[in-house]
Amino acid sequence: MNRFILKSGLVIFGGAVQGFGMGLFLFPHFIPSGGAGGIAVLLNYLFGLGMGAALWIVNFSFLLLAVNYFGKRFVVWTVVGITVTSLSINFFQHQDLIANRHLIYDLIIGSVFLGTGVGILMRQGVSNGGIGVVALMISSGRDILPGRPLFLLNACIFLITALIIDLKLIFLALISQWISTKVVDLICQLNFQPVYTLAFRKKT
C-alpha cells in the first residue's frame, strides 16, 4: 500500500511538473514539447482547441494502440499521468505569472521542467504518452532501441508544425528536446528514492 501511495504521488507530481513547464513556458510560444505536443499545437493553431484537451486526446489515442503491447496496468498509469499533465497545462495557461516574457528564458526553463516531469514519470515505469508509445512499439517489434524511431517521428511532426506555423519552431523544438532529454537522463540516474521500474516490457 505504501508503495502504491508513493507511486501515485510521484506520477501525479511528475505529470503536474511536466504540465507546468509546457503550459507556462513552452506552449505560449507554440514550442512543441514532443511529437504529441506538436500535434496539439497544430490542433490549437488550426481549430482553436485548448492545448490541454488537445494533448490529452492525442496522447490517449496513441495509448489505445499500446494496450496489447504493454498491458492495461501500463496504460492506466499513463492515463493518470497524461490527465494530470493536461489539467496542469489548462491551469497554468490561464495564469498571468510572467510579466515580461523572453523566448530563450522560457525555452530553457520550460524544457528543464518538462524533462524533470518526464523523468519522474519514467522512473515509475510510466510513459508520458504520445509518440513515445509508438516509438516503444516500433522498438519492441523490431528489437531496436527506441531513440531513433522517437527522434525521426518527432522530427517529422516538428517539421510539419514549423511549415504551417513558423519555420523557427523546428529549431526551438529540437533545442527543447535536447535539454529535456538531458534532464530526463539526469533524473533517471538519481538515487533519491527507489525506482519502481525503468523497463517498458512488452506484454506477455
> Could you report the per-residue pLDDT of 18-64, keeping only the tens digit for each?
999 999 999 988 898 888 888 998 998 999 988 889 989 988 888 88
**Domain of residue 134, residue span:** 2-94+101-189
Q: Is the predicted pLDDT of residue 73 greater than 90, yes or no?
A: no
How far is it, in rounded angstroms, from Cα 93 to Cα 24? Answer: 6
Contact 80, 15 (CB under 8 A): yes
The total of structural domains in the chain comes to 1
What does the block give as the cell for 184?
A: 530526463
How far is it, in rounded angstroms, from Cα 78 to Cα 74? Answer: 6
Evaluate whether residue 196 is within a structural domain. no
Evaluate whether residue 197 is within a structural domain. no
Question: What is the model's pTM?
Answer: 0.81
Evaluate whether residue 139 is within a structural domain. yes
Least confident of 39-48, 59-68, 92-101, 189-198: 189-198
How far is it, in rounded angstroms, from Cα 34 to Cα 128? Answer: 10
Q: What average pLDDT score do residues 63-74 get?
A: 78
